[in-house]
Amino acid sequence: MERTFLAVKPDGVQRGLVGNIIGRFESKGFQLVGLKLVQVSRELAEKHYGEHKERPFFPGLVNFITSAPVVAMVWEGKGVIASARKIIGVTNPLNAENGTIRGDFGVDVGRNIIHGSDAPDTAEREIALWFTPAELCNWQPSI
Ligand code: CMP
């Protein structure tokens, strides 16, 4: 079954949005299979955002993601990677549709509440970077 990596960033945690955000993925019908609060190291941040290394916002992005705890999650379900991206909204919250997480809660591209893997290969890489296999639970709803 398909899996994706999601992380509520420091701004989402500090604004008390974790419950609301988890609720949206639960209500949609996806299964939470991994969950932890992480004080992100610079090493993890630089690996996670490695593709943006040459971008001018990279130092600020690493500083921000390491500044306070992040809620790291793995979600499972049919089409979860693309569906989660729709639930999250586009990168810049100012352009995100109302009803999406970023559209409802943000105005600043550098404070866009949540990260979600953008494709199957990225999801696989990010899950392996943030979680050990033992930290993930295999389960299916029985109802
Ligand atoms: P995320 O989905 O976590 O992936 C890369 C992040 O870089 C993105 O969300 C934004 O938070 C951040 N980002 C992208 N563009 C900019 C920008 N122009 N200025 C600051 N941060 C940016």
The ligand 1 atom nearest the CA atom of 88: 2
Q: What is the pLDDT of residue 142?
A: 82
Q: Two tokens at 29?
A: 């019908």
Residue type, 31: Q
Q: What is the pTM of this model?
A: 0.96
Closest residue by Cα to residue 107 from 98, 115, 119, 116: 98
Q: What is the pLDDT of residue 135?
A: 98
34 neighbors 74 (Cβ within 8 angstroms): yes
Q: Two tokens at 141?
A: 């709803």
Q: What is the pLDDT of residue 141?
A: 83
The CA 57 to ligand 1 mean position distance, Å, reads 7
> Could you report the predicted ipTM of this complex, rounded to two decimals?
0.93
If DSSP codes are grouped into helix, strand and coil, which group holds residue 32? strand
Average pLDDT per run of 10 along the chain, which is 143 residues long?
A: 97 98 97 98 98 97 98 98 98 98 97 98 98 95 78
Catalytic residue of the set 61, 93, 100, 115: 115
At residue 58, φ and ψ (nearest 5 deg) are -60, -50
Q: What is the pLDDT of residue 71?
A: 98
115 neighbors 106 (Cβ within 8 angstroms): no
- Catalytic annotation present for 115: yes
| Ligand 1 neighbourhood includes 95 CB (under 6 angstroms) | no
